[in-house]
Amino acid sequence: MPFLSLSVYNFRNLQNAAIDLLSREVYFVGENGQGKSNLLEALYYSAYGTSFRTNNDSEIVKHSENSFSVRTMFQTEKGSTQTVSAVYENGKKTIEKNSKKIHDRKELVNTMPCVLFCHDDLQFAVGEPERRRFFLDQSLSMYDILYIDVLRRYKRVLKSRNTVLKEQHYDMLDVYDDQLIENGLLIQKKRKDMVFQFNQIFGKLYEDVTGISDISILYSPSWKEIQDGPGMRLPDHDEVVALMKQHRDQDKIMSTTLFGPHRDRITFMQKGVHFIPSASTGQRRLIALLLRTAQAVFYAKATGSKPVLLMDDVMLELDPDKRQKLTSLLPEYDQLFCTFLPGEPYERYRHSGTRVYFLEKGVWHE
């Protein structure tokens, strides 16, 4: 099991102390605003070097302080004990793994693979297309470090291309188009392959919980697919070059790049019809929960490793029957961390070895 202990210092409103995590399942119980989500955030920060609640590290620092630190001890699959520590001080972040400084957060990706379930996941169902693209990219990045590099290169080239469009340096467009297409086609191929594999998991999960069949994810690349015999294929490099030149006048008018993977769309379908517009709030919430469940299953199948699940009050809006079904469909995991309100029936889910911590004003006790 990865996480053995967690130490926090000036992190949000948490007490400066260490907490023992040596259990396959750990529950954090408390009223809203007492620090439950902060503990999950600290674990996530140890796993990925960033927060799931903010991109601004200064917002994590406890009020009236100017620094924070998180230190985690964990166990590898081979049984060795290792550590990750992150320190934020004077506006600068330093991350170390086994006392060795890490220069790129991608070095942490395969250390403690966490799948986070939280309320903001609802945006994957009802939010802007950018949120669904983020979900695909995050799912791929969890096990494919090379994808992280491709995505970064694409974003850098896109930023440069948009700059020359704004500054009307159009003689540079051919150079940037070539780089954009090279990386963009790799992104589209990986996204398309992942959605195909995801659909083998996601639709069945939704049917198992609700009895509703034929729910699927439709991936619509901005560089549109081309009819190729009975099927469709992604365009090749030359075809995208022609497409980009065809729409270049539009890019110049708008001073931005209007086509590419940054404009891809992901839609939830049922029998050829968009599902979300007519779905109830409960169905939309379930879509988000099952996307995360499918992400965990997908990761386990792709890597052969078991993830750590972080679940932040996400089952509160499900009726008891769906809660039980969802719990039974979770993939095999190394560890499970859940937050609960005091009135929730968490005793119904716990096992003999489950540790339960109660939190009040950032202080915890068993």
Asked if 14 and 50 sit in the same domain, the reply is yes
Q: What is the mean pLDDT of the chain?
A: 93
Residue 318 tokens, joined: 């499900």
Asked if 175 and 89 sit in the same domain, the reply is no
The predicted-structure confidence for 314-337, as pLDDT tens digits, reads as follows 877 777 777 778 888 888 899 999
Q: Is pLDDT at 38 greater than 90 in this prediction?
A: yes
Asked if 84 and 138 sit in the same domain, the reply is no
Helix residue spans in the chain (DSSP H): 36-48, 123-126, 129-141, 145-167, 173-210, 237-246, 248-254, 281-303, 320-329
H or E stretch covering 269: strand 265-270
Q: How many domains does the chain have?
A: 2
Owning domain of residue 170: 119-304
Asked if 170 and 286 sit in the same domain, the reply is yes
* Among 251, 281, 304, residue at a domain's last position: 304
Phi and psi at residue 35, to the nearest 5°: 120, 5
The predicted-structure confidence for 221-277, as pLDDT tens digits, reads as follows 999 999 888 888 999 999 999 999 999 999 999 999 999 999 999 999 999 999 999
Average pLDDT in the 11-31 region? 94
Phi and psi at residue 311, to the nearest 5°: -120, 110
Q: What is the CATH number of the domain that holds 48?
A: 3.40.50.300
Of the candidates 28, 19, 20, the residue with the CA atom closest to the CA atom of residue 339: 28
* Among 304, 324, 349, residue at a domain's last position: 304
Asked if 101 and 123 sit in the same domain, the reply is no
Asked if 101 and 128 sit in the same domain, the reply is no
Residue 343: pLDDT band (50, 70, 90) is confident
* β partners of residue 3: 74
Asked if 45 and 93 sit in the same domain, the reply is yes
Q: What is the CATH number of the domain that holds 242?
A: 1.20.1050.90
* Among 304, 321, 348, residue at a domain's last position: 304
Q: Look at residue 70 in the predicted model and tell me its pLDDT.
A: 97
